Amino acid sequence: MPITVADIQAPIAAEMELFEQKFKGQMKSDVMLLDQIMNYIVKRKGKQLRPMFVFLMAGVCGTISEATYRGASLIELLHTATLVHDDVVDESNYRRGFFSINALWKNKVAVLVGDYLLSRGLLLSVDNSDFDLLRIVSTAVRELSEGELLQLYKARRLDITEDIYYEIIRQKTASLIAACCAVGARSVGAAKEIVDQAHAFGEKVGIAFQIKDDLFDYGTAEVGKPLGIDIKEKKMTLPLIYALNKSGFLEKRRIINIIKNESEKPKKVNEVIAFVKNSGGIEYATEAMNHYVAEAQELLNNFPDSRYRQSLHQLVQYTIDRSK
């Protein structure tokens, strides 16, 4: 039987339910338009993997507290703000199969909503003197922005090496999961050394998570993003980087030319997908993903055994077993 989100959530089911209530309360506004949009955002929440990392790591390191709830809310508020702004930047009309905020209420409203969410998160921390948690999450948001900008810059040049790729995904994706784990540990008063270990664990999981996401671009599963979308957006992912490194000069030039100039043509995108598959790019990326998972599980074993730790082990496995 595959692991389900309900199985993983078992030790924190009551906390997650209470968190949902608290988070809804924090999203309320006296401005009717804002309240309407906040309700829309709350209703289309995903699997809530980020709060799960916060609560499970808090349980591993101590006793879940009010600061844990605030830390999870802070991450969700700031992360949601970045997603709302991302959709404006990307001119995206959909997010997880739903209309995006900018598609329904236009760009100006979406940008202001993102600003509002950001300010709610900052005030939640400042009003409760959660400065350690705010520092952890603010650092992650800064890194996330830097990673996005580095990827945009490199997409123009298409000269991403494996080292640069890992730096981009460490900042863009892994920094937030690392922050979730660090916030969970710090919210229960864990020492700096323990918080750093939790952060390192989350970073490994985040890198594996992103490689899995990159692999979806070459699969056939219904994953919520179209096949070959990364290629169309000129994103250099690990399977493609490996395939290009293995190819001869002429083949490499041909594939890069397709990505630069013909990535809007489905037939040409399929050519790139076939090239990557035939070059062993999928197997190489899968091996790299499994390597990071093994390192994450090893780090997790340094923490005392508990039902929370067992669920975290399951959550790590779930991030790479998921089909979307």
Classify 129 in phi/psi space as left (phi over 0), alpha (psi -120 to 50) or beta.
left
Q: Which of 143, 112, 122 is nearest to 75 (CA)?
A: 122
pLDDT attached to residue 152:
81
Note the pTM of the prediction, 2 decimals.
0.90
pLDDT attached to residue 94:
63
Q: What are phi and psi of 228, to 5 degrees?
A: 75, 15
Cα distances (angstroms) measured from residue 277 to each of 5, 242, 286, 324:
31, 11, 12, 20
Spell out the domains of the chain, with CATH numbers in brackets: 15-224+289-304+317-321 (1.10.600.10)
pLDDT attached to residue 220:
43
pLDDT attached to residue 97:
63
Question: Rounded CA gap, 184 and 136, in Å?
Answer: 11
Low-confidence ranges of the chain (pLDDT < 50): 220, 222-225
pLDDT attached to residue 323:
66
Under 8 Å CB-to-CB from 226, ≥6 apart: which residues?
Answer: 232
pLDDT attached to residue 227:
64
Question: Rounded CA gap, 151 and 93, in Å?
Answer: 21
pLDDT attached to residue 123:
92
